[in-house]
Amino acid sequence: MKNFFEHQDEAKRTTTYLIFLFGCAITFTILAMYAACILIARQNGVVQSSWQPAWLGTIALSICLIVAFGSFRKMTTLRGGGKVVAQGLGGQLVGQDTSNPQERELLNVVEEMAIAAGIAVPEVYLLPEASINAFAAGLTANTAVIGVTQGSLTQLNRDQLQGVIGHEFSHIVNGDMALNMKLMGLVHGLLFIHLIGRSFLFSSHRRHTASDRDKQGGAWLAFACSMTVIGAIGWIFGQMIKSAVSRQREFLADASAVQFTRNPAGIADALRCIAQQSKRSQISSTEAEAASHLFFNNVSALSSFASAFSTHPPLAERIRRLGSDAAIGTSSPARTQAANRSLAGITEGASPATLSSHNPIEQRSSAMAISSFAAADEVERSTDRLEAPNRLAPDALVADIGIVTPAHLTQAQSLLKHLPQRLLQAVRAQTGAVAVCYGLLLDPDTEVRSRQKQIIADSSRTVYDLLEKIEPLLEQVSVRSRLPLIELCIPALKQLKPEVAAQFFIRVKALIKADGKLSLNEFALQSVLQYRLATYFKPEQTAAERASQLTDVWSDSLLLISALAKAGQTQHSQIDYAFRCGIQQLPGVTKQTMPADMPTCTLSNLSKALRRLRQAEPKLKRAIAQACAHTVLIDGHTTDQEAELLRAILITLGCPVPPFLNLLPAR
């Protein structure tokens, strides 16, 4: 089974292959347009020879510019994130504070999946469609959204809905979502040729009507017709490429959904519900076809019958591949009711210390295989018997990146269950989310805390009053539950107006500076907030250069490992040992290249180093994550500071980390 970093490499290779295929489609378009132009010119006596290299060069340049402009125009629009796609499809944002039971259940499922997968909690959009379908859209996990049709809420039970959402989360984690967004841009570039040809056709038709004997007008009409038809054929080729790539990824996403939930019947029954519907999974929006490959199933009747244009495999084949358990159709109402009771039974007095003790390390090598689906019930029984480990191996930690097991999902559900209900209500509203973030930055020192509260009161009396009410609850939150609580705040914070968000970041920095120093806990919270929200409110205008060699980020890696080594150790010998254990995991490091001394690390420099390390190629990033894990876990223990800092670092490196840290034994 491929790990997260291998999936990222595969997505990169697939992107390169896609560019090649679209290059072939563009080449066909160029040659076809050249042939059409030569034919028209010879019939009108403009040229005698069929070989006109100057014409070929002009046509090739023109076609490439048209496709590039069309793709650039579409990608510029898509840079707004998944919400642009969702709104274009007619979706309405589901408010985090919704009181609708079906919408609340949907948000609960999405929150569970996001926490279990270690990615940002996506915004959820509801499409006014009676059919059963869903999609994930966005260029990055931080700008991703989940879209679900109204029919999915009314016709699916919780198990089935969880299977569908798990399928979409697989697309986010494995890099399919970003690839699909690029496909939209490339296909639109080919379509742009057809659109320009059609506009020429309409204008030439008017000219030709005005002067039927105008020979030049007839030639222009023929040219416009040729461009329209050839552009349409090129677009059809693009659609076929898009569909072929999409079909390859759907089986993997189905398997991942089973891996998330250990319940193959859930997603299989959802597929059966689609098969039994008259409209199946059809979407009526005019934008649906352009986004067809983003969805859970085919969005039109044509794609369901024409295999070349089908973005998804046949329903029967998808169900068959889910295994014998799925064939029976045993999505249990009792299981659904139990999950709903678990989420509804949130109590304010519960302690986070009672979180699930399931082992986060599962045998994942067969999780994606068909045989694993039939063994899902046995996995569930065996997982329930496991107790928390006394030691988590660094290699297992890195192997868990991007891999969500039922134990991770169980723990995410348990985390939500044991957080005070008042806090959960707070993070689902903009004011409450801001208050929770501010509250987690309050200093234990009374004098410093007083200054911080004054800063909050000066910025917003409403936020200050709410903070006063929830402050006792925030004090009960363990250090290891702080980052998950921050993650729950992200959807509400994304709804802030840009100018309000800018002021929010200013207040966060002011609260951190109130004591004149920056602690590791403050750094962890600030880093996650900046990483999750900065790209949402201010997308990067230019992509930074990717680092493929360790030499490109050697000094940054040393800073990072040095910070981790010092975070959980007090004695110099222990710090040095942890540092060297981490450095040895980096590729090509020998005794000769091992640094004699650790670099002096400030959290300001560490923040800059993280931004550069984030641009590392997947293979190199895996080695860096491995080094971080060995630095923290080599002694078999971890402190709360180490756990929070390590999780924050891996998150800001772009590594989706399941909540394994909540299971590590504190020292």
Average pLDDT over residues 36-52: 88
How would residue 538 be classed by pLDDT, with cut points 50, 70 and 90? low
> What single letter denotes the amino acid at residue 395?
D
Q: What is the mean pLDDT of the chain?
A: 81
Considering only CA atoms, which of 657, 564, 550, 562 is closest in space to residue 613? Answer: 550
616 DSSP β-pair partners: 547
Q: Compute the distance between CA of residue 391 and CA of residue 637 in angstroms, rounded to an integer.
A: 7
Q: Cα-atom radius of gyration of the chain, to the nearest Å?
A: 28
The domains of the chain, with CATH numbers, are 4-80+180-247 (no CATH), 421-537 (no CATH), 550-663 (1.10.3680)
Is the pLDDT at 372 greater than 60? The verdict is no
Please give the pLDDT value at position 326.
54
8 A C-beta contact, residue 546 and residue 615: yes
More confident residue, 207 or 28: 28
Q: What is the pLDDT of residue 37?
A: 92
pLDDT at position 649 is 85
pLDDT at residue number 214: 57
Kindly report the number of other CB atoms within 10 A of residue 334's CB atom: 7
**Residue 297: Cβ-neighbour burial (10 angstroms; 0-12, 13-18, 19+):** buried
| Interval 620-660: pLDDT, tens | 999 999 999 899 888 777 766 677 778 888 888 988 887 75
Query: Is the model more confident about 477 or about 366?
Result: 477
With contact defined as beta carbons under 8 Å apart, do 218 and 208 qualify? yes
Rounded to whole angstroms, the Cα distance separating 383 from 358 reads 7
pLDDT: is 77 or 643 the higher one?
Answer: 77
Summarize pLDDT for 8-27 with one digit per residue, the tens: 777 777 778 888 889 999 99
How much is the pTM?
A: 0.82
Structure confidence at residue 493 (pLDDT): 94
pLDDT at 243 over 70: yes
What is the rounded CA–CA span in Å between residue 453 and residue 438?
A: 9
Q: pLDDT band for 146, please (50, 70, 90 cuts).
A: very high
Report which residue type is found at 335.
R
23 contact partners, CB below 8 Å, separation of at least 6: none
> Between 418 and 538, whose confidence is greater?
418
Give the number of other Cβ atoms within 10 Å of residue 161's Cβ: 26
Q: Is the pLDDT of residue 165 over 90?
A: yes
Instruction: State percent of the chain over pLDDT 70.
Output: 82
Q: Which of 112, 123, 129, 168 is catalytic?
A: 168
Report the sign of the C-alpha dihedral through residues 648, 653, 659, 660, in that order. negative
pLDDT at 357 over 50: no
Are the C-beta atoms of residues 536 and 494 closer than 8 Å to each other? yes
Q: Which of 34, 139, 19 is nearest to 67 (CA)?
A: 19
Look at the block and give the residue holding tokens 């040229």: 47
Residue 10 confidence (pLDDT):
78
On whether the CB atoms of residues 640 and 480 are closer than 8 A, the answer is: yes
Can you tell me the mean pLDDT for 561-565? Answer: 88
Tell me, what's the pLDDT at 411? 83
The DSSP output letter for 290 is T
195-242 tens-digit pLDDT: 898 888 777 655 555 455 555 667 888 888 999 999 999 888 888 888
Query: Looking at residue 31, what is its pLDDT?
Result: 95
Q: What is the pLDDT of residue 245?
A: 83
Query: Taking residues 610-624, what's their average pLDDT?
Result: 90
Residue 574 or residue 205, greater confidence: 574
**CA 627 – CA 395 distance, rounded (Å):** 10
Higher confidence at residue 6 or residue 462? 462
At residue 85's C-alpha, the angle toward residues 82 and 87, to 5°, is 105
Tens digits of residue pLDDT in 104-132: 999 999 999 999 888 999 999 999 999 99
Bridge partners, 126 (sequence order): 92, 148
Higher pLDDT, 133 or 3: 133
Assign 588 to helix, strand or coil: coil
Active site residue 168: yes
The CA distance from 340 to 158, in Å, is 8
